[in-house]
């Protein structure tokens, strides 16, 4: 806890300043104070936590899951064959240069307001860091180590399972830590652009009603959700990669 004490102080100061400023300006529809936002969350708890949060989480989880499967599969394919790498890597990079927020309306056009248009946006935002990181992980193996396994008579499959996969594991966790917050953002953006439920949609609806605190409330919940996910991943990482903290 001591580690975080200075950042906690900064956060408290920030919110205190915000509270003071908001009360001074006294225009809650533009700049709601933190206390008002919390009050709003409490008032709207039923619909926020029972309807919209689960909707967003569903998109987040499904999108992330498909991203992990897709990203790891791409990374494996690229590490197994140089030709596949040459063919796919540039395409993977190009997908990241496309402004995803601009693509979202097209997905809505294709899939309507169904969950799949939202999941597709989330996938587009999250699969890239997973692919690139895991691929780097496969490549991080030492040549000498691979040669040693070859002298033992190891097959390509054995080299992959016993050397490349474990080497890539820390990279996979780094990728997850980038992708999880991105998946939350992706889900929220897609809900903003075309949806009938979810925290992003809720935020948009509140904006049309000029309800400042109502716009902030789902953002606070999204932030906390992302923080909790990252903490969970950290705990998992420390459990699985016991051998880390190498000098």
Partner 1 sequence: MLILVNMNTCFGIWPIIRGCNLFMLKFYDVNFRYENNEKYLIENLNFQVDNREFISIIGPSGCGKSTIFRLITGLEKADSGNIFINDENINNLKGYIGYMPQRDLLMPWRTISENACLPLEIQGKNSKEAKSEAEKLLEAFGLGKYKDKYPKDLSGGMKQRVSFIRTLLTGSDIMLLDEPFSALDAITKISMQEWLLEQWSNLKKTILFITHDVEEALFLSSRVFVISEKPITKLKEIIVPAGYPRDRHVLNIPEMMDIKEELVNELKQRVEL
**Smallest gap, in angstroms, from Cβ of residue 179 to partner 1?**
22
Letter string b/e over residues 164-187, b meaning 16 or more CB atoms within 10 A of that residue's CB: bbebbebbbbbbbbbbbbbbbbbb
Rounded CA gap, 75 and 67, in Å? Answer: 12
Question: 50 or 147: whose CB is closer to partner 1?
Answer: 147
- Estimate to the nearest angstrom the gap between the alpha carbon of 172 and the chain centroid: 13
**Smallest gap, in angstroms, from Cβ of residue 223 to partner 1?**
34
**13 to 52, contacts with partner 1 by CB under 8 A?**
none
Rounded CA gap, 118 and 189, in Å? Answer: 8
DSSP letter for 245, please: -
Rg of the Cα trace of the chain? Answer: 22
**128 to 167, contacts with partner 1 by CB under 8 A?**
142, 144-145, 147-154, 158, 162-163, 166-167
Around Cβ 9, how many Cβ atoms within 10 Å? Answer: 10
Question: 20 or 166: whose CB is closer to partner 1?
Answer: 166
Question: 124 or 163: whose CB is closer to partner 1?
Answer: 163
What would the x/- binding string for partner 1 be over residues 165 to 184, using CB under 8 A?
Answer: -xx-x---------------
Q: Which residues bind partner 1 (CB under 8 A)?
A: 142, 144-145, 147-154, 158, 162-163, 166-167, 169, 241-243, 245-247
């Amino acid at each position: 806890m001591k580690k975080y004490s200075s950042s906690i102080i900064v956060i408290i100061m920030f919110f205190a300043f915000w509270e003071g400023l908001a009360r001074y300006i006294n225009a809650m529809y533009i700049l709601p104070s933190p206390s008002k936002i919390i009050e709003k969350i409490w008032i709207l708890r039923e619909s926020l936590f029972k309807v919209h949060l689960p909707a967003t989480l569903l998109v987040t989880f499904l999108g992330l899951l498909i991203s992990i499967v897709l990203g790891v599969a791409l990374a494996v394919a690229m590490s197994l064959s140089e030709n596949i790498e040459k063919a796919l890597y540039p395409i993977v990079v190009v997908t990241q240069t496309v402004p995803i927020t601009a693509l979202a309306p097209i997905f809505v056009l294709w899939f309507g307001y169904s969950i799949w248009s939202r999941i597709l946006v989330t996938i587009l935002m999250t699969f890239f860091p997973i692919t690139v990181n895991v691929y780097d992980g496969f490549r991080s193996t030492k040549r000498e180590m691979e040669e040693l396994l070859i002298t033992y008579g190891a097959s390509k499959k054995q080299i992959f399972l016993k050397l490349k996969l474990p080497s890539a594991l820390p990279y996979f966790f780094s990728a997850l830590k980038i992708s999880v917050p991105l998946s939350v953002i992706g889900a929220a953006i897609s809900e903003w652009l075309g949806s009938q439920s979810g925290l992003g949609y809720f935020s948009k609806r509140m904006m049309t009603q000029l309800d400042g605190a109502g716009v902030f409330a789902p953002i606070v919940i999204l932030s906390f959700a992302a923080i909790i996910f990252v903490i969970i991943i950290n705990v998992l990482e420390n459990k699985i990669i016991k051998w880390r903290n190498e000098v």
